[in-house]
């Protein structure tokens, strides 16, 4: 008799999702699916709003990465105005995005994923969360929380709010740093860097500690997409898009977001509200690609800051091939990116432009079909607006990083389920591994902030006739 296991909701991720694991008659995993179970409709209710409100509205999509939408939207707005924004505004936007990378990556590691890695995948689910981490290693937890707080402080000092700052606008930004706030950020760089390096050290040891997990958490070939700078360096704000394959060969380079429809297709399935973007030239689902920290490190030639470049080199030497094809390495890549972000912040703060008052270019509506792109902590983010000639949004299309990882998350879930879940007696730790595989992508499903990991998890074994054979619940 075939059975179905449902993990609902998936915990310690941002948003709501569930996992179904389908068992065959012998109790072996046949297949698994990752469903996003909520519908929000932002693209629809942006219709009829003004271009200038779009940054503020789309930032509300997410409480963890509002800055990503803010920047992607402001960049789309720049294009509608057809302006080149003041250099200081670009530097400040970069600064905020790096603050965002720092806080979001710190959240992903310390608050959401480190309980699995430090306390163990099979540890008691009641304490396998950030509070358990605080009890087990208070000093590390404190450092992690402070690192995230520092990242958020950068956002707040620039945008007046930690969450949802309405700061980046079409044409530039609304305010710069004061000398005091510049020093305030600068003073905590050494501490932040030390914490990031400690976390990176933990990530490096994970492959030895969890060999089975690190082999099966999404280890498969796929394409990778991300922004790179003019000289192929790691990029998070501008540049062009590059796609590499699982061997590191460049499948496409110098792509412009303006033509994203030529290379990104969006499929949908009737069992999930999250779309399935794919690399168009390879079709669906063959055009499976990953975005985010893993992909950004796979597509770039180098990072461009000394410490991060050294870590990137060590990381690449550790890999068996030219690029990382294992989603378990998202954690490692994320920590290298935090170091890159902190070094980037340090470099930007040396520039007096961050205190400039020439911050905003003004113009009317000059282009009506515009696409903006930026790198969110979770990956490449596209905003595409159709405007009327007054600047009212006729239609909007937002392609979110997690969507682009959707195919890969599904494949990861199936891979882990096949490796670890053996029916019919399902241990909680087995299911936690399935969730941890999803967490590696740091998905942001609806972007609500369930950061503490205290959502209940219920797992149901359902027979093919719909009878619930067994329910496992944890609080």
Partner 1 sequence: MAVKTLTIDGRLVSAMEGQTVLEAAQEAGIHIPTLCHLDGVSDLGACRMCLVELGNSPKLQPACVLKVAEGMEVRTNSDRLRKYRKMIVELLLSERNHVCSVCVSNGHCELQDMAVELGVDHSRFDYIYPVERVDITHQRFGVDHNRCILCGRCVRVCDEVEGAHTWDMAGRGAKSFVITDMNQPWGDSTSCTSCGKCVQACPTGAIFQKGATVGEMQKDRTRLEFIVTAREKKQWIG
Binding site for partner 1 (CB under 8 A): 48-50, 52-53, 55-57, 60, 164, 166, 169-170, 174, 362, 364, 390-392
Residues in a beta bridge with 5? 21, 461
For residue 3, say if its preceding peptide bond is cis, omega within 30 degrees of 0: no
Q: How far is the CB of 371 from partner 1 (least distance, A)?
A: 20
Say if CB 426 and CB 435 are below 8 A apart: no
Q: Which is nearer to partner 1, 170 or 265 (CB)?
A: 170
Q: Which is nearer to partner 1, 60 or 418 (CB)?
A: 60
Q: Where are the beta strands (DSSP E) in 28-119?
A: 29-36
d(CA 304, CA 29): 44
Q: Which is nearer to partner 1, 283 or 364 (CB)?
A: 364
d(CA 441, CA 475): 23
Q: How far is the CB of 60 from partner 1 (least distance, A)?
A: 6
Q: How far is the CB of 389 from partner 1 (least distance, A)?
A: 9
For residue 157, say if its preceding peptide bond is cis, omega within 30 degrees of 0: no
Q: How far is the CB of 362 from partner 1 (least distance, A)?
A: 7
Q: How far is the CB of 57 from partner 1 (least distance, A)?
A: 5
Q: How far is the CB of 361 from partner 1 (least distance, A)?
A: 11
Provide φ and ψ at 103, rounded to 5°: -70, -40
d(CA 297, CA 235): 10
Say if CB 322 and CB 247 are below 8 A apart: yes
Q: Which is nearer to partner 1, 317 or 390 (CB)?
A: 390
Q: How far is the CB of 164 from partner 1 (least distance, A)?
A: 7
CA distances from 277 to 34, 118, 401 (A): 15, 33, 10
What end-to-end distance do the CA atoms of the chain give, in Å?
A: 30
d(CA 292, CA 441): 8
Q: How far is the CB of 59 from partner 1 (least distance, A)?
A: 8
Q: How far is the CB of 125 from partner 1 (least distance, A)?
A: 35
Q: How far is the CB of 355 from partner 1 (least distance, A)?
A: 21
Q: Which is nearer to partner 1, 134 or 361 (CB)?
A: 361
d(CA 2, CA 118): 35
Burial of residue 223, with CB atoms counted within 10 A of its CB: 0-12 exposed, 13-18 middle, 19 or more buried: buried
Q: Where are the beta strands (DSSP E) in 256-392?
A: 264-267, 276-279, 289-290, 369-376, 379-387
Q: Which is nearer to partner 1, 164 or 207 (CB)?
A: 164
Q: Which is nearer to partner 1, 387 or 409 (CB)?
A: 387
d(CA 334, CA 199): 10
d(CA 253, CA 244): 8
Ordered strands of the 468-474 beta sheet: 29-36, 17-23, 3-8, 457-463, 468-474
Q: How far is CA 318 from the centre of its chain?
A: 23
Q: How far is the CB of 66 from partner 1 (least distance, A)?
A: 11
H helix runs in 319-405, sequence order: 330-349, 401-404
Q: Which is nearer to partner 1, 170 or 372 (CB)?
A: 170
Q: Which is nearer to partner 1, 21 or 169 (CB)?
A: 169
Q: Which is it for strands 223-228 and 289-290: parallel, antiparallel or unpaired?
A: parallel
Among 143, 74, 148, residue whose Cα is nearest residue 360 = 74
Q: Which is nearer to partner 1, 40 or 174 (CB)?
A: 174
Say if CB 445 and CB 402 are below 8 A apart: yes
Q: Which is nearer to partner 1, 159 or 293 (CB)?
A: 159
């Amino acid at each position: 008799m075939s059975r179905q296991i449902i993990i609902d909701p998936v915990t310690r991720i941002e948003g709501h999702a569930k996992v179904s694991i389908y068992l065959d008659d012998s109790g072996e995993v046949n297949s698994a699916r990752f469903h996003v179970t909520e519908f929000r409709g932002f693209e629809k209710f942006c219709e009829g709003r003004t271009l200038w409100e779009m940054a503020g509205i789309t930032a509300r999509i997410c409480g963890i990465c509002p800055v990503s939408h803010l920047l992607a939207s402001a960049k789309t707005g720049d294009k509608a105005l057809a302006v080149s924004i003041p250099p200081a505004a670009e530097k400040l936007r970069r600064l905020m995005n790096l603050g965002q990378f720092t806080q979001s990556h710190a959240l992903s590691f310390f608050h959401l994923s480190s309980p699995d890695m430090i306390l163990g995948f099979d540890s008691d689910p009641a304490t396998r969360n950030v509070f358990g981490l605080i009890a087990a290693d208070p000093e590390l937890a404190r450092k992690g929380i402070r690192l995230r707080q520092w990242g958020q402080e950068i956002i707040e000092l620039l945008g007046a709010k930690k969450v949802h700052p309405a700061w980046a606008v079409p044409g530039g930004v609304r305010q710069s740093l004061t000398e005091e706030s510049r020093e305030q950020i600068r003073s905590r760089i050494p501490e932040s860097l030390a914490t990031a390096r400690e976390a990176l050290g933990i990530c490096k040891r994970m492959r030895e500690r969890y060999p089975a997990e690190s082999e099966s958490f999404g280890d498969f070939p796929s394409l990778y997409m991300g922004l790179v700078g003019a000289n192929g360096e790691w990029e998070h704000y501008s540049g062009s898009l590059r796609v590499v394959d699982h061997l590191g060969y460049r499948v496409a380079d110098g792509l412009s977001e303006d033509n994203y429809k030529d290379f990104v297709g969006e499929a949908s399935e009737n069992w999930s509200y999250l779309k399935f973007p794919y690399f168009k030239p390879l079709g669906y689902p063959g055009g499976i690609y990953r975005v985010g920290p893993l992909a950004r490190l796979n597509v770039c030639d180098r990072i461009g800051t000394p410490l991060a470049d050294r870590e990137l080199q060590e990381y690449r030497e550790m890999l068996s091939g030219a690029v990382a094809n294992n989603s378990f390495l998202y954690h490692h890549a994320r920590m290298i990116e935090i170091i890159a972000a902190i070094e980037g912040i340090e470099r930007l703060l040396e520039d007096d432009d961050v205190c400039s008052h020439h911050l905003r270019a003004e113009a009317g509506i000059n282009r009506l079909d515009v696409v903006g792109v930026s790198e969110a902590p979770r990956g490449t983010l596209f905003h595409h607006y159709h405007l009327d000639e007054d600047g009212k949004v006729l239609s909007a299309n937002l392609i979110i990083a997690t969507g682009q990882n959707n195919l890969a998350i599904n494949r990861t879930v199936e891979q882990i389920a096949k490796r670890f879940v053996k029916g019919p007696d399902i241990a909680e730790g087995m299911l936690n591994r399935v969730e941890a595989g999803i967490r590696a992508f740091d998905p942001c499903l609806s972007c609500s902030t369930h950061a503490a990991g205290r959502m209940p998890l219920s797992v149901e074994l359902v027979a093919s006739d719909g009878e619930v054979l067994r329910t496992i619940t944890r609080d």
